[in-house]
A and B are shown apart, each in its own frame.
Chain A
Amino acid sequence: MSKRLTNILVPLISILLGIIVGAIVMAISGFSPVDGYIALWNGVFGNTYNIGETIRQITPYVFAGLAVAFAFRTGLFNIGVEGQLIVGWLAAAYVGYAFDLPKIVHIPLALLAAAVAGGLWAFIPGLLKAKLQVHEVIVTIMMNYIALHVVNATIATLSDGEKTEKIHETASLRSPFLESITDYSRLHWGFIIAILAVIIMWFILEKTTRGYELKSVGFNQHASEYAGMNVSKNIILAMVISGIFAGLGGAMEALGTFGNISKMTAFTGIGFDGIAVALLGANQPFGVLLGAMLFGSLKNGGLNMPNEAGIPVEIVSIVIALIIFFVASGYIIRVALERISKKKKEEK
C-alpha cells in the first residue's frame, strides 16, 4: 500500500470506527443512531444559525490548541492554557468596558491586554523552569487554580458581584452583518484572528531563526546548548508565546461570545480540550486548525442531539468522546494497515 493512500485512509478509518462504536453505544442505550447522527450533522451544518455557532465554538479551540502545540514544539507541556485563557478573558473584558476609545484602537488594545495577561501568566512557569528546573506541569496546574480564584475575586471587586459590565460596542468583535447572515448566532470576527494566529505560528516556527532555535531546544536541549543557543531564554520565550495564544483565546470569549466575564464555579475546559486539539493536529499549526474544527463541530453539533433526537447529554458525551478517541488513536490503525499490507505481500 502506498504511503499516500495510508495517509488518507488512516483518518477516514479512525472517524468511521468512532462513528460505528458511537452508534453501538446509542443502540444499546435504546436510541436510534441514525437519528442521533442526523441531529449531530444538523447541529453543525443544519442551518445558518448552527453554522455560525459552530464557527464561534471553534475559534477559542484554535487558540487553545495553538498555545499547547507551540509549547510542545519547544519540549514544554503547558497544561496551564486554561488559566492563561481565563486571565486573558478578564483583561480583555476589563479593557473592553473601562475605556472609551474608537473601534480601531479599542479592539487591538483589548486584544493586546489579553495577550499580555496570558503571556505574563505563562512567564512565571517559564522562568521557574528555565532558572530552577521546576517542572512546568506542576507549576502550570497550580497557576490554573490561582487564575480561577484571582479572577473570581477580581470580578467581585470590579463589579457588584456576579459579572463585569458588558464591553462597549467599540470593543466588540460581533457585527450586525454576521448576525444577519447567520440568523442571530453569536458568530464574531474572531475567526479571522484565529486564522491569522495559525499563519503567524507557522511563520514563527518555519521561517524565522528564533523558531528554528525553539524547535531545536524541543528536540534536544543539550545539543542546542552545545550549538550555542541560549536554552533558558528559549524556554521562557516559548512559554510566553504559548501564553499569548491562550490569552487571545480568552479575548475571543470576552469580546465575542459573552461580552463580559462572569464568576466561574469551575474551569471552562477550553484550555484542557486544547491539549487534545494540539495532539490531534500533531502540533502543526494547520493540523491544530483541523483538530479545533473537529472538536468545535462535535461540541456544538452534540448540543443538538438532545434537542432533535432526544438523546441524553450523557450518551452524547460518550459518543463524542469515542469519536475523538478513535481519531487520536490513528497510530493503531496505521500499524494495523501496515501489517495487513505486509501479509498480502508475503502471500504473493
Chain B
Amino acid sequence: MKKRKIGLALSALLASGTLLAACGNDDNASDTKKDDKKSFSVAMVTDTGGIDDRSFNQSTWEGIEKFGKDNGLSKGNNGYDYLQSASESDYNTNLNSLIRRNFDLVFAVGFNLHDSVVEVAKQQKDAKIAIIDSVVEGQDNVASIMFKANEASYLAGAAAALQSKTGKIGFIGGMESDIIDGFEAGFVAGAKAANPKVKVDVQYAGSFGDAAKGQAIAKRMYDSGSDIIFHAAGGTGNGLFTEAKERKKKDPKADVWVIGVDRDQYDEGKVDDKTNVTFTSVLKRVDIAAEDVAKQSKDGKFPGGKTITLGLKDNGVDLADSHGVITSDTQKKIDEYKEKIIKGEITVPEKPEK
C-alpha cells in the first residue's frame, strides 16, 4: 500500500508537471469556419520546441502569418494554421492531419522532421511540403530550405574577438549536430581571423530545452574570464541570458555580454530601461524564407525537389542591430568581412576543427 501511495504521489507530480508546462500562449481566436472560395493556404508543423520557442518555430510562424495577412487569409482551414508536436511520434500524425485538411503547402520546421517528411511525402504524392534546416533528396513534392548560419556566426565571432576585453569568449551549443556545427565553426573561425590570440571556450549542453544547464555553463564561462558568450542552444540559451542579467544587476559595470541566435534576442537581454546584455544576435531569417517559398508556391513555382540555401548574400542570415554595443571601428571590420564572404574571398568552414 505504501508503495502505491508513493506511486500515486509520483504520478500526481508528473501530471502537475504537465499542468505547469501548460502555461503558454493562447493568442488564437480559432476561425474554423469554412470559406467557399478556394485560396492558397499554408500551414506548419513545429518540432518539439513548440510555436513560442523564441527561435525558428516562432520565426517560421511569423513568416506564415505575414504571408496570410498580406493575402487576406484568416487563421484556420483555407487560410493559415499550425500544429505543435509534443513528442517525436507526433510529426507524422500532424503532417498527415494538415495535408488531409487540404493545405496547399505545409512547412516542416527542423531537421528532426526529416524522416517523417520523407515518409509522408511518399504516401501523399499530391501534397507540397517544405522542410527547414534539412535536405530531402529525390522527392519532387518536397522543397528543402537551408541556411548558411556559419557565415553570420563568423561575423559574430569576429565582432566578439575584436571587442573582448579579456581575450576570451565562449560558445554554448545545444546538441552536437550538423546544424549547430555550422554555428560553432563559423564563430570560432571568425574570432580567430579577427584576433588569432583569442581563446574560445566551447561547451555543449546536450539539450535544447535545459535553461538551468545553460545557466550553469554560463556561470562557469563568465567565472573563468569569458566576457562575450554566443549560444546556439534554443531554450537552453535562456539560462545564459538569466546568468548575464543577474551579474549585470549585481554589478552594472560587469563586462558580460550575450550573442543571441535565430531571432533578434534584444528583448531577452533587457535588465532595465537603460541596460541590456545583448551584444548582437545571429539572425536566421526563417520568416523571410517561409514567406518567400509560400509566395513562390502561390504563383505556381513551388521549388519541389530543390534545395534553397540562403546566406549573407541573400539576406537569409545576418547580424542584428547591436543598439550601439558594436563600435564603429568594429562595424567597419565586420562590413569588410561581410563583403569578402559575399564575394567568395573568404570561405567559412561548416565543421569545427577537431
Which residues of A are at the interface with B, using a C-beta cutoff of 8 A?
Answer: 29, 31, 49, 53, 57, 72, 75-77, 79, 137, 149, 152, 156, 161-163, 166, 184, 186, 253, 257-260, 262-263, 265-266, 268-269, 272-273, 275-276, 278-279, 300, 303-304, 306-315, 317-318, 321, 324-325, 328
Contact = CB atoms under 8 A, between A and B. Distances in A.
B26 A29 contact: yes
Contacts of B76: 310
B88 A262 contact: yes
Interface residues of B, number: 54
Given A161-B178, A257-B89, A325-B15, A311 B10 contact: no
A31 B123 contact: no
B19 A317 contact: yes
Nearest to B207: A265
Given A161-B178, A306-B84, A265 B11 contact: no
A118 B115 CA distance: 26
A286 B50 CA distance: 36
A314 B88 contact: no
A307 B97 contact: yes
Nearest to B123: A184
A306 B45 CA distance: 12
Contact of A184 (B87, B96, B112): B96
Given A275-B7, A310-B32, 17 more contacts: A31-B30, A77-B7, A156-B176, A161-B176, A161-B177, A162-B177, A258-B115, A263-B175, A263-B177, A265-B208, A276-B15, A279-B7, A303-B94, A313-B50, A313-B86, A315-B26, A318-B18
A317 B48 contact: no
Interface in B73-125: 76, 83-84, 86-90, 92-94, 96-98, 100-101, 111-112, 115, 123-124
Q: Which of A49, A161, A253 has the most CB of B within 10 A?
A: A161
B25 interface: yes
Interface in B1-59: 3-4, 6-8, 10-12, 14-15, 18-19, 21-26, 28, 30-32, 48, 50
A257 B83 CA distance: 20
Nearest to A57: B89
B23 A275 contact: no
Contact of A328 (B8, B32, B123, B206): B8
Contact of B26 (A259, A260, A268, A314): A314
Contacts of A262: 88, 112, 115
A265 B176 CA distance: 11
A260 B6 CA distance: 35
Contacts of A137: 6
B214 interface: no
Contact of B175 (A265, A269, A307, A312): A265
B97 A303 contact: yes
A86 to B, nearest CB: 12
Contacts of B311: none
Contacts of B22: 314-315, 317-318
Contacts of A278: 7
A311 B194 CA distance: 51
B14 A272 contact: yes
Contacts of B206: 149, 152, 265
B351 to A, nearest CB: 11
A313 B32 CA distance: 16
B124 to A, nearest CB: 8
Given A306-B83, A309-B30, A162 B8 contact: no
Contacts of A325: 12, 15
A53 B92 CA distance: 10
B209 interface: yes
18 contacts: A57-B89, A72-B4, A75-B3, A77-B3, A162-B177, A258-B88, A262-B88, A265-B206, A265-B207, A268-B88, A279-B7, A303-B90, A304-B97, A307-B94, A309-B30, A315-B26, A317-B18, A325-B15
Given A29-B26, A161-B176, A317 B21 contact: yes
A319 to B, nearest CB: 10
Given A265-B207, A321-B18, A275 B11 contact: yes
Contacts of B112: 262
Nearest to A302: B86
Contacts of A309: 30, 32
Given A75-B3, A303-B97, A279 B8 contact: yes
